[in-house]
Amino acid sequence: MLIRLSIKNIRKSIKDYAIYFFTLVLGVCIFYVFNAIEGQSSMLEVSRTKSDSIDQMVWAISSMSIVVSLILGFLIVYANRFLMKKRNREFGIYLILGMKKGDIAKILFGETLLVGAVSLTAGLLLGIGLSQFMSLLVAHMFEADMGRFVFTVSIPAIGKTILYFVIIYVIVILMDTVLIMKTRLIDLLLSKKKNEKVHLKNPVICCIIFVAACIMLGTAYYNVTAGQLDTEAEVMIQILLGIVGTFLVFWSVSGALFQIMKKCSGIYYKRLNSFAFSEIRSQVNTSVAAGTIICLLLFATICILSSAFALKDYKAKQVKKVAGISVSMEKWTTDGKTVRDVLEKSEFDFSAFQDCHEFYTYETREVTMKDLMGSAGEELLKTQQGFEEFLDSEVELIHESDYNRAAELYGYKKVHLGAAGYAVSATTEFSKKYFNKGLKEKVRLTIQGQVLDAAEEKCQETYLMMSYSDQNMGVVIVPDTISFPKESRHASYLLADYSPKYDTKEFRNYMDSDEFRYQKEFTEDELLSVSTQSEIYDESIGSSGVVIFVAIYLGLVFIISGAALLALKELSDAIDGREKYRILQQLGVSEKELGHTLFLQMAVFFAFPLLLAMIHSIFGIQVCIELLSIYDIKAIIPALLICAAMIVGIYGGYFLLSYRGCKRIIITKRIR
């Protein structure tokens, strides 16, 4: 009997369960899809570097799944609280009719079990289908060979999903049982008349706090973008200012803006706007903490997603710029041997290389980092601590002809120094900033008795060794007429392209492997620093893939959580406020006008956290771009469009679902 009653209740309240069920299915689906990547990625034929990146991604997703399960657990518990609140009067009638609280708990257990089983099944089926597309996305992202791809179902992912969600449902059942056992009959019957208390706030105090909150946020915005934060404590203070400022905005905005709207009588008294603004004020007042959390979740989503996609596009462009040849090798000349000497010792076949260029770089106490920076170096010593050793370090020197040959191979512009000129090559932002100051000052260098003047006013953004990231701290290019003693040799370099015969997948894998780099014939002084085009490409693709998938995983969960919380809050308020709408209808307001008022009220309530999150993101994204060393601002535009599409799709979907649900509660119920 109790089971039949549970089934009947679910059928009767199927529309009330729509958002709850939709959230459960989405949660299960996303959880399965991302945790199934491990099993599906095993079918992909990728290089060792990409395989390592996929392993890192799987580990990161598995770790994030714990956080995700906690967020989804909180969301499900919150949603269940809404459903319980809506049915308080129904439970009270059960008790009047003689049903025991234990029986009501059993009914709730049956309902939770049925809804949980159906949502798990639907979510897993949807997840299994979407996971096949995820496999294609992973393969595309990591440029994998799909020759072994087949339709697959990840049993470990199914088991993990079921386990996590069963734990969540058990917690829900226990909380429902405790709640029913503790609730009094009178509270259940009168719950319809017990709306959340709305404490009207002094508008003057609200305005003062609103201004203070804006100042706090403005201070944080300035400090994280234009200010200089040197310690972790200073960074944490800005984060705290942002959180507290956001909370105070939500606490004060209703009173402050309500007063402003009342001054705009043309808008305030038009149609039912006065009623709508009063409802918005009430809703914001009773959801300050929830609004703050939702705003911060949306802010994190925008920053995470946009930065991740921007990083991917930026790296894709950078890798083409920094990996122009097949291989570059470097060896310090502490033992007097060159790269060629070491390779010949291992009987390496040099016919594997074409367009091979070998050269030395030199170091001398005549040229240090401080010498190149001019007065900027002195300023750096006075204003910053810990740079003494760095500024006193020697700078690599290279002959003009060797540099120009390397530039030709890499596809960069050659330099022309003349008889007594020098140029500087650097790629790190720090080095370029201070070296450019020295070049503009026309800093004069004396090397091996020859006086040199700057031939260029800016650094050459080039490098000698290929690198996944900008690592050239500085190299000085000098005329070939300067001779260096043998003891000044700093490093031996070899740059080359693979010959057509050896430009195969197998040979590229060999050059990327530890087998080549750490041969047993090599002594410690003979170890080579090897950087290959294929490894740089694979590392760029792999690291971008890890960031993208983790960002999408967290982003989706954050958007769903924020939107679902707002939707459930609206539905809860609709239950509490339907009597107001009934009175409006009795006064002659049409259903169309009521629908318009409800839409306006909900649109503002949904839009406000998103709007504030977008304002936060303008500054947050700048910080992310700086932290991730993304120097191409154009890369952020496509990323923002992708992020906007995801938010509009999910956030907008929840808005429409909740609007339909609230409209049904308010307009349909009040006619009865």
pLDDT in tens, 602-650: 888 888 899 999 999 888 888 877 776 665 666 677 778 888 888 888 8
Q: Write down the pLDDT at residue 6.
A: 62
Residue 207 Cα to chain centre, angstroms: 34
Say what the pLDDT of residue 49 is: 66
Q: pTM for the complete prediction? A: 0.74
- Over residues 394-452, the pLDDT tens digits come to 889 999 999 999 988 888 888 998 888 999 998 888 888 888 888 888 888 888 888 88
Q: What is the 3-state secondary structure (H, E, C) of 634-671?
A: HHHHHHHHHHHHHHHHHHHHHHHHHHHHHHHHHHHHHH
Phi, psi of 399, rounded to the nearest 5 degrees:
-70, 150
Mean of the pLDDT values across residues 507-533?
78
Count of C-beta atoms within a 10 Å radius of residue 321? 14
Q: Which one-letter DSSP state was computed for residue 394?
A: B
Torsion of CA 310, 316, 322, 323, to 10 degrees: 160
Which own/partner contact pairs does 238-243 have at CB distance under 8 Å and 24+ positions apart? 241/216, 241/217, 242/216, 242/217, 242/616, 243/292, 243/296
Question: pLDDT: is 548 or 18 the higher one?
Answer: 548
Measured on CA atoms in the order 533, 534, 535, 536, is the torsion positive or negative?
Answer: positive
**Percentage of the chain with pLDDT > 90?**
6
- What tokens were used for 444? 């004069």
**What pLDDT score was predicted for residue 671?**
42
Q: Which of 38, 147, 532 has its CA nearest to residue 330?
A: 532
pLDDT band at 670 (very low <50, low <70, confident <90, very high): very low
Distance CA 592, CA 606 (A): 21
Residue 43 half-sphere exposure toward CB, CA atoms < 13 A: 18
Residue 578: pLDDT band (50, 70, 90) is confident
Question: What is the tens place of the pLDDT at every residue in 224-279?
Answer: 877 766 667 777 888 888 899 999 888 888 776 766 766 666 666 677 777 777 77
| Buried b or exposed e, range 101-131, using 16+ CB within 10 angstroms | bebbbbbbbbbbeebbeebbebbbebbbebb
Those residues with Cβ within 8 angstroms of residue 503's Cβ, 6 or more apart along the chain or in another chain: 326
Residue 279 burial (C-beta neighbours within 10 Å; 0-12, 13-18, 19+):
buried
H or E element in which residue 216 lies: helix 203-225
The SS3 assignment for 422 reads: strand
* Residue 9 near residue 107, CB atoms below 8 Å: yes
Structure tokens at 297: 């979740």
For the residues 382-394, what does the mean pLDDT come to? 78
**Could you tell me the pLDDT band of residue 157, with boundaries at 50, 70 and 90?**
confident
Q: Determine contact, residues 416/460, Cβ cutoff 8 Å.
A: no
- Rounded Cα–Cα distance for residues 346 and 528 (Å): 12
Provide, rounded to the nearest whole percent, the portion of the chain with pLDDT above 70. Answer: 83
Integer Cα distance of 216 and 223 in angstroms: 11
* Total residues found in the chain within this entry: 672
- The dihedral formed by the CA atoms of 558, 563, 564 and 569, expressed in degrees to the nearest 10: 130
Other CB atoms closer than 10 Å to residue 586's CB: what's the count?
Answer: 9
Cβ neighbours for 159, distance < 8 A, ≥ 6 positions apart: none
- CA 318, chain centre distance (Å): 20
Cβ atoms of residues 491 and 331 within 8 Å:
yes
